[in-house]
């Protein structure tokens, strides 16, 4: 048994670390100017898979992926327009950021169990 096979099994079962990047722009001094942008990074545990050929239809295109994120305990909710990258990041450099194009939040009772994110390059 190799270490690589063990790591692959554990990642498939428990997920890997991903970073969600959110940029918020404050109100400007007047109606026609933007304010300064603030970037927030949040580390989450998630699993990724690509869509099967029979699932590619409608708004899903070839190359899109489905990332299932364990619901973060801090109340941070991923939204359409955020970006996500594999690994732990605190800056834009060195990350392969992908755009979140859809967010689905299945519930168990009244609590969100996971977030299912459709992402695109």
pLDDT (0 to 100) of residue 102: 92
Residues ≥6 apart with Cβ < 8 Å to 12: 47
Domains in the chain: ranges and CATH: 3-120 (2.40.10.270)
Long-range CB pairs of 100-103 (<8 Å, 24+ gap) are 100/20, 101/59, 101/64, 102/59, 103/77, 103/78, 103/79
The reported pLDDT for the residue numbered 111 is 82
Give the best-scoring range by mean pLDDT among 36-40, 52-56, 82-86, 109-113. 82-86
Query: How far is CA 78 from each of CA 5, 29, 64, 97, rounded to the nearest angstrom?
Result: 31, 28, 17, 14
84-106: per-residue pLDDT in tens? 999 999 998 889 999 999 999 88
Residue 5 confidence class, pLDDT cut points 50, 70, 90:
low
Dump pLDDT digits (tens) for 39-72: 999 998 899 998 888 887 777 888 899 999 987 6
Residue 91 and residue 116: Cα distance in Å, rounded?
A: 24
Paired residues of 99 in beta bridges: 83, 120
Residue that the structure tokens 């918020």 belong to: 24
């Amino acid at each position: 048994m190799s270490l690589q096979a063990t790591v692959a099994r554990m990642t498939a079962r428990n997920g890997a670390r991903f970073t969600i990047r959110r940029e918020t722009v404050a109100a400007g001094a007047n109606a026609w100017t933007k304010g300064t942008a603030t970037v927030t990074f949040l580390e989450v545990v998630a699993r990724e898979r690509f869509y099967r050929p029979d699932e590619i239809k409608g708004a899903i295109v070839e190359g899109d992926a489905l990332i299932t994120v364990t619901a973060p305990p801090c109340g941070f909710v991923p939204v359409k327009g955020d970006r996500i990258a594999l690994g732990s990041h605190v800056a834009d450099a060195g990350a392969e950021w992908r755009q979140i194009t859809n967010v689905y939040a299945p519930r168990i009772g009244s609590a969100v169990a996971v977030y299912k994110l459709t992402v695109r390059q």
